[in-house]
Amino acid sequence: MRLFLLGTLAANVAVGLLAFSTLTGMLAGTSWVILATHFMALGALLPIMVGALLQMQPVVAGVQVPCRPWFKWFFPPLLYAGLVSMGLAFSGYAHGFQICAAVLSMATLPTSLLLVISAFGSKVNDVTTRGMQGALCMILIAIVLGVGMLLAFDGIPWVDVMSALPRHVRFATIGWMALLVMTTAQNVVPMFQLTPAYPARLKTWLTPWVVAWCLAGFVPALQSLANMALAVTLACFAALTLFLQQKSKRPQDATVRFWKLGMWALGSVSVLWLVQVLLTISQPWDHYVLLGALFFAGCVQSVIISMLYKIVAFLVWWHLQKIAGPKLTRQVPNMRQVFASSAMSMHFRWHLAAIAGLMLSVIVSPWWPVLAMLALLPLIVANLIWARNLLKAWQLFKQTEQTLRQLMAT
């Protein structure tokens, strides 16, 4: 829960940085956009994904993540210290990039290695476990490339920034985030949304296919082909998921709508990316910012919000059941009572407005910076609603826990 709440708060820091960059236009605020991107990817989405993996690996893969105190006491402070040091580096602080590289390495490398060790220690061989294994290997490569670029900014020529940058982005977005979303979807969507199952061949080949094409990007002659293959894969997966969701046997609630929004965003990003690769023309900086905003906020964040509502509701119910025991089990709220449907629906409406505002902000930023900044306000509100809903679930847990312990004492 601490990782989940920290992630929601960091998302608004990312929005604030993006809003600041719009004051001078996206082209002039490149470093601020990069910092905002990393606050969203590392500060917001990474802790939430790590928190989810800490819960998923024992359930899905049947393994415990070792050294769990690391994730409580060391990972969060080191991660956010590294992001703050990145801001200092972009502001011209002496040796700032070296400090940032060292601190972010200390935060992310041990975290990824602990998750990799537990994932590959599993005896389960299903699509989600394979997806976790592949995605964790991809983020390790992304971290190494990212650290290399930070050192290169300070004059240590470990990697060539121009060649490492597209590979870093590919491994972090497609290899880590998109692969984890796609493999998790193949269990979560049929289970919670009561849709038909994904094709068996997709479950077998998706992870090796994505990993292989991500790695193929290291070969310059295959880079365009790898981009096309990955873009087509993402587009087809998004279309397939939307098709299966149309056959769902359950009424659509906010969590289903968040998933659908995420798939529409993933399909849109894939098509725009594919058109760019096919036309082979250099795109302006704003085009890449638009793709990144749509991928992070439209796709990954939408899917994470949907899954988090399910994960947190289950965790609250599960831990209260363990405390209550068989005698007081009727005092435990069921999973549907953890998050009110009206609160989730309000969050979805604001999140949908936030995505539209984010797209508008990126498009109009070079000409109307004030309008671009105001267009980001719905995203701040949506993130605050998200944090409020999680805090209410935490308060429900603590209040019910206290009541159960009082009843047990009497």
pLDDT of 365 reads 84
Query: Tell me, what DSSP letter sits at residue 178?
Result: I
Q: Is the pLDDT at 283 greater than 80, yes or no?
A: no
Q: Computed from CA positions of residues 166, 261, 4, 113, in that sequence, does the dihedral angle turn out positive or negative? A: negative
What is the percent of the chain with per-residue pLDDT over 70, rounded to a whole number?
98
> Do residues 339 and 384 make contact, with C-beta atoms less than 8 angstroms apart?
no
The distance of Cα 306 from the centroid of its chain, to the nearest Å, equals 12
pLDDT of 150 reads 94
Q: Which residue has the higher pLDDT, 60 or 8?
A: 8
DSSP annotation string for 55-123: HHIIIII--PPS-HHIIIIIHHHHHHHHHHHHHHHHTT-TTHHHHHHHHHHHHHHHHHHHHHHHHHT--
**Taking residues 167-181, what's their average pLDDT?**
96
Measure the CA–CA gap between 129 and 337, rounded to whole angstroms: 30
pLDDT of 115 reads 95
Nearest one of 225, 170, 228, 180 to 206, comparing CA atoms: 180
pLDDT of 339 reads 96
**Taking residues 306-330, what's their average pLDDT?**
91
Measure the CA–CA gap between 149 and 206, rounded to whole angstroms: 29
**Taking residues 50-69, what's their average pLDDT?**
90
Split at pLDDT 50, 70, 90, the class of 409 is confident
Query: Tell me, what DSSP letter sits at residue 126?
Result: S
| Six-digit token string for 273 | 């990316």
How would you write 109-172 as a 3-class SS string? HHHHHHHHHHHHCCCCCCHHHHHHHHHHHHHHHHHHHHHHHHHHHCCCCCCCHHHHHHHHHHHH
Measure the CA–CA gap between 270 and 228, rounded to whole angstroms: 9
**Taking residues 329-349, what's their average pLDDT?**
94
> Do residues 103 and 81 make contact, with C-beta atoms less than 8 angstroms apart?
yes
Q: Is the pLDDT at 162 greater than 80, yes or no?
A: yes
Q: Is the pLDDT at 184 greater than 90, yes or no?
A: yes
pLDDT of 284 reads 65
**Taking residues 24-34, what's their average pLDDT?**
74
pLDDT of 62 reads 87
Give the position of tokens 């769990």.
Answer: 68
Q: Is the pLDDT at 208 greater than 60, yes or no?
A: yes
pLDDT of 368 reads 87
Q: Is the pLDDT at 60 greater than 90, yes or no?
A: no
pLDDT of 27 reads 56
**Taking residues 269-288, what's their average pLDDT?**
81
Measure the CA–CA gap between 31 and 147, rounded to whole angstroms: 16
Whole-number average pLDDT of the chain: 92
Q: Is the pLDDT at 276 greater than 90, yes or no?
A: no
Split at pLDDT 50, 70, 90, the class of 157 is confident
Question: Which ranges constitute the DSSP H helices of 195-340?
Answer: 200-216, 223-246, 254-279, 285-293, 301-324, 335-338
pLDDT in tens, 81-138: 999 999 999 988 888 999 999 999 999 999 999 999 999 998 888 899 999 999 999 9
Q: Is the pLDDT at 325 greater than 90, yes or no?
A: no
Q: Which residue has the higher pLDDT, 250 or 45?
A: 45
pLDDT of 29 reads 62
pLDDT of 349 reads 98
**Taking residues 38-44, what's their average pLDDT?**
97
pLDDT of 281 reads 64
Which pTM was predicted? Answer: 0.95
Q: Is the pLDDT at 328 greater than 90, yes or no?
A: no
Cβ-based neighbours of 204, under 8 Å, separated by 6 or more: 127
Length of the chain: 410
Cβ-based neighbours of 205, under 8 Å, separated by 6 or more: none
